[in-house]
Structure 1
């Protein structure tokens, strides 16, 4: 785990971090999204994922922003998308 610095209350870093007692690992943004920190950094550069803010040399997101991101994904998953192509009919190859 990189460092033992704790983010401000209500925020999380990209990576997991250890609590004040050194006992509990607090999941970071990447773990909450089910991806690696390096994948999240790529997403961040591509404008994907929850909104983040710099905190010294590290990056963090508010728990509120992470929850809003999950709510948006859930909402989008329930909506029908007009961008999706309908399934194409399967055609059989002509008999020889």
Structure 2
């Protein structure tokens, strides 16, 4: 009897990744999962998934999976939204700027007093 041996994680179908990182069939190369590709922890992605945020994902058996193309498309949409927002803020800032007002100096009290 082999005892409490952890079962190997079966790799997903081609073009699909699990939430967590996994190794290829021979165990030599670590393949990044959804969370690693997004730069977050697997638990954070699970929270996003419960709130219906992040790239589209689905279940394969009991494992959460996503298409690599869906992850890349979601990241590209974030990049495009940030670029558009930055351009809008830049245009708004240029439009709202006022020209510098001329400085007004107060006349000193000596200049206002009549000469005797």
Tell me the TM-score normalised to structure 2 length.
Answer: 0.66
Q: Is 2:32 aligned against 1:27?
A: yes
Q: Which runs of 4+ in 1 moved over 3 A?
A: none
Which segments of 5 or more consecutive residues in structure 1 lack a partner in the other structure? 87-96
Give the length in aligned residue pairs.
83
Select the structure with the greater relative contact order (CA < 8 A; seq sep ≥ 6). Answer: 1
Choose 1 or 2 for highest CA Rg: 2
2:24 is aligned with 1:41: no
Q: Structure 2: give runs of 5+ residues left out of the alignment.
A: 1-6, 93-116
The residue number in structure 1 matching 2:21 is 16
TM-score (norm 1): 0.79
Q: Matches of residues 1-96 of structure 1 in structure 2 within 5 Å?
A: 3-80=8-85
Q: Which one has a larger percent helix, Structure 1 or Structure 2?
A: 2
